[in-house]
Amino acid sequence: MVSHKAGGSPVTEADHLVDRFLKRRFEELLPEAGWLSEETEDSAERLTKKLVLVVDPIDGTRAFALGEPTWAIAVALVRDGRPLIGIVHAPALQQTYVAVKDGGSRLNGVPIEVSGIATLDASARVGAPLFLAEELRQAGLTFTLQPRVPSLAMRIAYVASGALDAGFASENSNDWDIAAADLILEEAGGRLAGLDGVELVYNREETRHGLLTAAPRQLQSQINLAMRRARGAPE
């Protein structure tokens, strides 16, 4: 059964079941860690913790409810604002992305890395919401838009594996959507950042983020510069 939260986003009983299961297990494994999850009422107590688990029980709930495979469970262990461990598990696709800080990224145990693309052109494979893809084109960027991936964590993980050359997230993504995939991308040679290029910080009081780009490091500066120009932001 699908219901809707105050902001209009869907939620299923499975979201809550996975959330409760993970919270119970991690409380046993890491009792000292704080907890930040999309499906648990937020508590300021997490702000006092050095270690925090950042969880999206089902990222891509609409896809899950429709029986589509592109949804995932995302878990990150964050220390001092940055992820130490990131896991994005897509059961329906039998894909598990795992990264450990300074230990590389793996898909089903096999090391992965971002694509070697150096510039966006018509051959570049990009994942982005339709309205944002149009803004990118108006900014003078050329690329081939790929089929929509409802799970933001999966979209970023696809960039990490080279399945996408770049990915984008519109404003108002939250820590739980991106923290795990952020580390997976970083350890694969890419970067997730806002248009200012500054490294993201997690477990702040405000969990929401602005427009984000996920890309190989050599490509991100080109994308961000074009987007800043298009939006009239300082270069």
* Element at 132 (helix H, strand E): helix 130-138
Residue 32 marked ligand-binding: no
Residue 184 marked ligand-binding: no
Residue 45 marked ligand-binding: no
Residue 59 marked ligand-binding: yes
49's CB contacts (< 8 A; 6+ apart) are 32, 33, 34, 203
Tell me the two tokens of residue 211. Answer: 């427009």
Q: Is 128 exposed, middle or buried (0-12, 13-18, 19+ CB in 10 A)?
A: buried
Running DSSP on this structure, what letter comes out for residue 199? B
89's CB contacts (< 8 A; 6+ apart) are 72, 73, 74, 75, 95, 96, 97
Interatomic CA distance for residues 51 and 84, integer angstroms: 9
Interatomic CA distance for residues 27 and 1, integer angstroms: 28
Residues in the chain, overall count:
235
Residue 206 marked ligand-binding: no
Q: Is 216 exposed, middle or buried (0-12, 13-18, 19+ CB in 10 A)?
A: buried
* Element at 62 (helix H, strand E): helix 61-65
Question: Which of these, 36, 35, 53, 39, lies nearest to 11 by C-alpha position?
Answer: 39
Pick out the residues of the known binding site for Mg(2+): 38, 56, 58-59, 177
Pick out the residues of the known binding site: 38, 56, 58-59, 177
